Amino acid sequence: MTDADTHPVIVQSDRSILLETDGDAFEDARDVIAAFAELVKSPEHIHTYRITPLSLWNAAAAGMTPKNIIDSLTRYSRYEIPQNIIVDIEDYVSRYGRLKLYKSEDGRLLLESDDPMLITQLLNHKDVKPFVSATNDKNKIYIEQADRGNVKSILIKIGFPVEDLAGYIKGAPLKFNLRKKSLSKKPFGMRKYQIESIDAFYMRGSNHGGSGVVVLPCGAGKTVVGIGCIHALQTQTLVLTTNTVALRQWKSELLDKTTLTEEQVGEYSGDSKEIRPVTIATYQVLTYRKSKDSPFLHFDLFDGGNWGLIVYDEVHLLPAPVFRATSTLQARRRIGLTATLVREDAREDDVFSLIGPKKYDVPWKVLEKQGWIAQAICHEVRTPLPSDERYQYVIANKRGQFRIASTNPVKEDICERLLEKHKADNVLIIGQYLDQLQALATRFGAPIITGRTGTKEREKLYGAFRNGEEKLLIVSKVANFAIDLPDANVAIQVSGTFGSRQEEAQRLGRILRPKAEGIIAHFYSLVSRDTCDQDYSMKRQLFLTEQGYRYEIVDAEAI
């Protein structure tokens, strides 16, 4: 056997990459490939990736060159890389930066390229033409300030991502310090990867920094990264969050770890409408309107303060109206925080063009090895579908089949066995269907949190779980995001949102905060065997598989 035979990568001419999992080089090759390719599927022995324009543009924005990418593929590839793949990599990576956006001396925006034919093409392109005007320089065209985001969105869709170097308004100053000890008297300092992610975003205040996305695992302290970015800029800031519970956790962290005061941090939610130097709002309140055709009542918040920074928490969930509003906010610095850039609506290119490219990413397993997140074992428990349910399943439509398979009553019995197995642990049961969750709450006498649960009641129940009064919580999808439950170490997923990869990642994330004495976290996904539930489960697991997690397939009878 030659050295080449042990190389785990096969690059194919259709832009797919095959990666064999059986070999010493697998993990190193996986981490390298993930920087410039997207995972497509991940069965046991061979994982399939695909090189896409967006994956290459994110790599280019992070500083990778065509040579970096090709050298990485060559190092691990068993066979010679197809010539067309080399050409594609060189072509697409070179497109990032071929169009640069600057601010002219008179304050106007200039789109510039070394290729005058590209400028001519844009002046005559039907989608671009309404937003641009010619200059006396064949390498430059004007765009209006208000169209900065729209033009970037259009250009990435036609294959030319813009490197935006037009700069940002500073916003109103806000002087504060980070504490060396939190108010709770615990030592506080930034971790190495948090400092690196802040530096990658900020870039010493240059026009090359100031907009982009930081990708870190759940439980790795993304809120602390956001706080670090606010501190680096020392400017008034608008923070957008997923719900009121997350909003209040942000406020608590800001007050605990910085010298900001209560009077400087405002809540803008359904309960309160405070605009202060740091204002934290929910996506729900921003997208509220009285009817489908009514205006968004609270969009003026974007102009309600002299913001120098906008923080988008859980940026992969950004609602379409907030995308549209963000297209006009390109003169303000923007940071997106997320555990995964995966969007099931395939609008990752809008995140790239309107928020910014991926600035920092670290594999989950790397932080696990360093002890910053808990070690977790994933189990897929395959359960039989009772014969009467099986009949209803085969005659139902597609949506009906998914509901029947998801709410399989056998899953209740599996939950009981798992709760007995983990009776000393802190357990979350997570699901999609409220009637299923209510039945579980009744059977086990456990509290339940859904979208109908008021904010005060949610906070009370989360608090009871944290202090050990409650060992079991039943939660709906409202608990997917931004819940600080550090002692949760077992999650049982009884149903999910079809094949949502980001939801699977977020649910595992509920149990990834570091545990005392090296306690291992367990994530159980209950799946109805030989149904669409099993098919969707495979897709949901994709992102986590890319991060190095493997699912142990367990038969229900073995629990």
Q: In the numeric block, which tokens belong to residue 315?
A: 């940026």
Distances (CA, A) of 100 to 121, 151, 234: 15, 12, 27
Helix axes 244-257, 222-233, angle to 10 degrees: 60
Inter-CA distances, 210 with 27, 72, 232, 310, Å:
32, 29, 11, 10
Say how far apart CA 371 and CA 302 lie, in whole Å.
39
Q: What is the pLDDT along the chain (559 residues), one digit of tens a residue?
A: 445 568 999 999 999 999 998 888 998 998 899 899 988 777 668 888 999 999 999 999 988 999 999 999 999 999 999 999 999 999 999 999 999 999 988 888 999 999 999 999 999 999 999 999 999 999 999 999 889 999 999 999 999 999 999 999 989 999 999 998 888 778 899 999 999 999 999 988 787 888 999 999 888 999 999 999 999 999 999 999 988 888 999 999 999 999 999 999 999 998 889 999 999 999 989 888 888 888 888 888 888 889 999 999 988 888 888 888 888 889 899 999 998 877 767 778 888 999 999 999 888 888 888 889 888 899 999 999 999 999 999 999 999 999 999 999 999 999 999 999 999 999 999 999 999 999 999 999 999 999 888 888 988 998 899 888 999 999 998 777 656 777 889 999 999 887 787 788 888 888 888 777 778 899 999 999 999 999 888 888 887 877 778 889 989 888 8
* Residues 342/545, Cβ–Cβ less than 8 Å: no
d(CA 412, CA 414): 5
Q: How many CB atoms sit inside 10 A of residue 371's CB?
A: 10
Q: Which CATH superfamily is domain 192-362 in?
A: P-loop containing nucleotide triphosphate hydrolases (3.40.50.300)
Q: What is the CATH number of domain 368-558?
A: 3.40.50.300
- Nearest Cα residue to 225 out of 51, 80, 361, 429: 361
For the chain, percent helix, then strand, then coil, each to nearest 5? 40, 20, 40
What residues contact residue 413 under an 8 Å CB cut-off, 6+ apart? none
- Every domain of the chain and the residues it spans: 3-95, 99-164, 192-362, 368-558
Dist. CA 528–CA 411, nearest whole Å: 8
CA–CA dist 525, 373 (Å, integer):
20
3-state SS assignment for residue 424: coil
